[in-house]
Structure 1
């Protein structure tokens, strides 16, 4: 059953994306969908270490330079996040603006700030959504350290 769209994150989704307790969120993966120059959908995965909610209506993203996803974000200034969390499928439409490059960044990335345009959540009456895409970090300690540093730089 689809819930009515909102223009802000629920407290539960804000907690997921708040940049805290990354150790407990390290397995969560979100699909970031953009549109190519040829008008084809393009999907990339991002982690809890590449997105941070500033508040319930704005998020920031740290993206690798030169990727198809990053080029699409720069060109269209639009994206949709799709992921499964806490028994529901969630879809978040974003309107993005590119942020200045941080010359002294430990982990240079393209940075974006996004206004949340719409949040929609889906649950099925006939089935429980038990999981979405989950990941296992190969070098947990170094990846979590990089994520903490990346999110700290997103707040600058």
Structure 2
């Protein structure tokens, strides 16, 4: 059965469009999958691993052999959540594994994703002032790897 497509908000598309990743380096995204034991599994990813090609189609690049990658290969599903620009964002994805990219500088698992459901949450009585944020220990090398990963996800 074909999943219906949904659209990322303009805010999320702007965050995940692969541009200006140095300016977005502190944003952390909680990627959720379901393990073989049927328990939820959460991994933290970045704007250097998730690319919005448009508002309904994304690419995801993960390290090979991780539990997260294995869960996606097995189920074809994942969801991510993050707090950004004063809102909590929840996105469900349907994914397909992409073939390995010959000559990839940072080989891993690549996935094509379709947005199947989105939800935004904001309270009328409180502002979300931050979500999970990170501080890169070696920004130069990490940002270069992310830029390369984004180029490879566009392939």
SS of aligned partner of 1:55: coil
How far apart are the structure 2 equivalents of 1:26 and 1:38? 33
SS of aligned partner of 1:136: coil
Residue 11 of structure 2 corresponds to residue 12 of structure 1: yes
Deviation, 1:10, is 1.3
How far apart are the structure 2 equivalents of 1:71 and 1:145? 26
Q: CA RMSD in A?
A: 0.9
SS of aligned partner of 2:53: strand
How far apart are the structure 2 equivalents of 1:141 and 1:37? 36
Q: Which residue of 2 aligns with 1:126?
A: 125
Number of positions where the alignment pairs a residue of Structure 1 with one of Structure 2:
151
| 5+ long unaligned stretches in structure 1 | 1-5
Q: Which residue of 2 aligns with 1:96?
A: 95
Q: Which residue of 1 aligns with 2:61?
A: 62
Q: Which residue of 1 aligns with 2:41?
A: 42
Q: Which residue of 1 aligns with 2:27?
A: 28
Q: Which residue of 1 aligns with 2:110?
A: 111
| 5+ long unaligned stretches in structure 2 | none
Tell me the TM-score normalised to structure 1 length. 0.95
Deviation, 1:103, is 2.3
Tell me the TM-score normalised to structure 2 length. 0.96
How far apart are the structure 2 equivalents of 1:13 and 1:67? 26
Any runs of at least 4 consecutive aligned residues in structure 1 with deviations exceeding 4 A, and if so which?
none
Deviation, 1:109, is 1.1
Deviation, 1:7, is 1.1
Q: Residues 22-44 of structure 1, C-alpha deviation per residue, up to 9 Å, x if partnerless?
A: 01100000000000011000000
Deviation, 1:13, is 0.9
SS of aligned partner of 1:48: coil
Q: Which residue of 1 aligns with 2:50?
A: 51
